[in-house]
């Protein structure tokens, strides 16, 4: 079975499945990570996503291992660099309720990353790029992404914008200038955003047009799944008209849509929401099955999978893949059989009747996990 491909940029072709590496170095050891990468590449996946702060939950002892493991795999397997697409991200602390904290929860100030980066200054971006290149042992990054905005934005379960929470942030001009210098230096090929809003996408595009040295964003990596279809509001219109592709992360809503957490035993002990209980606050609050709305919605989608005889993973990922603006689905797997389930989803074609039933559930339970 061939994994479909997508032209993300004129000379950047990516597989429509992208293996996320944020478990590498925490849930997955180096040998386990190598086996997952081997299986992915052998199956036709050429697109791999990381971030300087990975793995998660983040801590000083493991920071950067995900990039490091990926780079070691390329070298140990003698894989031609142009055979794989390497994407990674610059991370900063997120200002939430006027307190800086990391995106993965209150597990520290990430002081081990440049002393706790509080902005996307040119210095921070440049140092982050150089450090990622060093850890991965590569000369260039194919797609470099801003992990989340350097400004107040409601995200990870927050839905309402509060103007009083805005703070002084680094200008988009400075961010694009630093990214543009990295492109000119050959360190980065293309740039993208992540966890962005319509305002952010349009401002980055508008400002890039004002200066030929500023790179134009080619993608935005936002959450998209049955339980979070917020992208289809303002973001979809922006991206469609401006030719910015969606890299859809969390297609299984952190595993909820696989059905494993609804098992009598509440899922395997090594499943992320069980293994890191109490250490992954954004994930636990966003994807909380104790929330009746989320629980009922999840069960309804699992019932659709059962009624049509489709594996829940295939239903969830097949739905995301059919979106006309989605370039690739960014997913995680800690085991080979999980990876195979995702790969199998490429064979599934959802009928109009299936889509209609999915949309009926969405109408009853709209976006319970924004």
Per-residue pLDDT, averaged over 39-57, amounts to: 97
pTM, two decimals, is 0.95
pLDDT of residue 101: 36
Between 156 and 74, the higher pLDDT residue: 74
Q: Which residues pair with 248 in a beta bridge?
A: 222, 329
What does pLDDT average to over the chain? 93
Per-residue pLDDT, averaged over 271-277, amounts to: 90
pLDDT of residue 118: 85
Residues in the chain: 370
Is the CB of residue 178 less than 8 Å from the CB of residue 130? no
pLDDT of residue 94: 60
Q: In this model, does residue 95 exceed pLDDT 60?
A: no
141-146 vs 12-15, strand pairing mode = unpaired
Q: In this model, does residue 224 exceed pLDDT 50?
A: yes
Q: In this model, does residue 99 exceed pLDDT 70?
A: no
pLDDT of residue 265: 92
Q: In this model, does residue 8 exceed pLDDT 90?
A: yes
Percentage of the chain exceeding pLDDT 70 = 95
Is the CB of residue 213 less than 8 Å from the CB of residue 207? no
Count H helices, E strands: the chain? Answer: 12, 12
Active site residues: 54
2 falls in which pLDDT band (50, 70, 90)?
confident
Question: What would the pLDDT profile of 140-173 be if each residue is shown by its tens digit?
Answer: 999 999 999 999 898 888 889 999 988 889 999 9
Per-residue pLDDT, averaged over 233-254, amounts to: 97
Per-residue pLDDT, averaged over 48-72, amounts to: 96
298, two tokens = 């999840």
286 falls in which pLDDT band (50, 70, 90)?
confident
285, two tokens = 């609050």
pLDDT of residue 222: 97
108 falls in which pLDDT band (50, 70, 90)?
very low
Question: What would the pLDDT profile of 193-204 be if each residue is shown by its tens digit?
Answer: 999 999 999 999
Q: In this model, does residue 110 exceed pLDDT 90?
A: no
Task: Give the closest residue to 114 by CA, choosing from 95, 129, 104, 99.
Answer: 129
104 falls in which pLDDT band (50, 70, 90)?
very low
pLDDT of residue 1: 66
107 falls in which pLDDT band (50, 70, 90)?
very low
Rounded CA separation 181/176 (Å): 8
Q: 76-90, 155-169, 350-364 — which is least confidently predicted?
A: 155-169
DSSP string, 197-242: -HHHHHHHHHHHHT-TTSPPEEEEEEE-BTTB-GGGTHHHHHHHHH
Residues 6+ apart with CB under 8 A from 18: 45, 47, 48, 49, 87, 247, 328, 329, 330, 331
102 falls in which pLDDT band (50, 70, 90)?
very low
């Amino acid at each position: 079975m061939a994994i479909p491909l997508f032209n993300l940029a004129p000379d950047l072709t990516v597989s429509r499945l992208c293996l996320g590496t944020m478990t590498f170095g925490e849930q997955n050891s180096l040998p386990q990570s190598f086996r997952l990468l081997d299986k992915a590449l052998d199956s036709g996946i050429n697109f791999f996503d990381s971030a300087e702060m990975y793995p998660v939950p983040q801590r000083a002892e493991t920071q950067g291992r995900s990039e490091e493991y990926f780079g070691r795999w390329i070298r140990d397997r003698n894989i031609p660099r142009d055979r794989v697409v390497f994407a990674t991200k610059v991370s900063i602390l997120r200002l939430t309720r006027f307190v800086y904290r990391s995106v993965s929860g209150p597990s520290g100030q990430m002081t081990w990353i440049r002393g706790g980066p509080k902005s996307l200054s040119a210095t921070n971006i440049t140092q982050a790029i150089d450090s990622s290149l060093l850890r991965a042992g590569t000369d260039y990054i194919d797609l470099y992404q801003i992990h989340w905005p350097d400004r107040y934005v409601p995200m990870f379960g927050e839905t309402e914008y509060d103007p009083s929470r805005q703070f002084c942030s680094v200008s988009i001009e400075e961010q694009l200038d630093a990214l543009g210098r990295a492109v000119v230096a050959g360190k980065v090929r293309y740039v993208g955003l992540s966890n962005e809003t319509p305002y952010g996408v349009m401002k980055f595009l508008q400002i890039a047009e004002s200066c030929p040295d500023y790179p134009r964003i080619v993608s935005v990596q936002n959450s998209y799944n049955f339980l979070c279809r917020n992208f289809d509001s303002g973001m979809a219109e922006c991206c469609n008209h401006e030719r910015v592709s969606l890299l859809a992360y969390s297609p299984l809503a952190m595993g909820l849509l696989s059905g494993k957490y609804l098992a009598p035993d509440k899922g395997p002990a090594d499943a992320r929401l069980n293994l890191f209980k109490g250490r992954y606050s954004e994930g636990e609050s966003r994807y909380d099955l104790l929330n009746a709305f989320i629980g009922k919605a999840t069960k309804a989608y699992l019932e659709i999978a059962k009624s049509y005889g489709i594996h829940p993973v295939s239903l969830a990922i097949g739905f995301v893949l059919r979106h006309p603006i989605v370039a690739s689905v960014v997913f995680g797997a800690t085991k080979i059989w999980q990876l195979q389930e995702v790969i199998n989803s490429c064979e599934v074609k959802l009928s109009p009747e299936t889509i209609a039933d999915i949309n009926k559930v969405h109408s009853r339970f709209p976006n319970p996990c924004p």
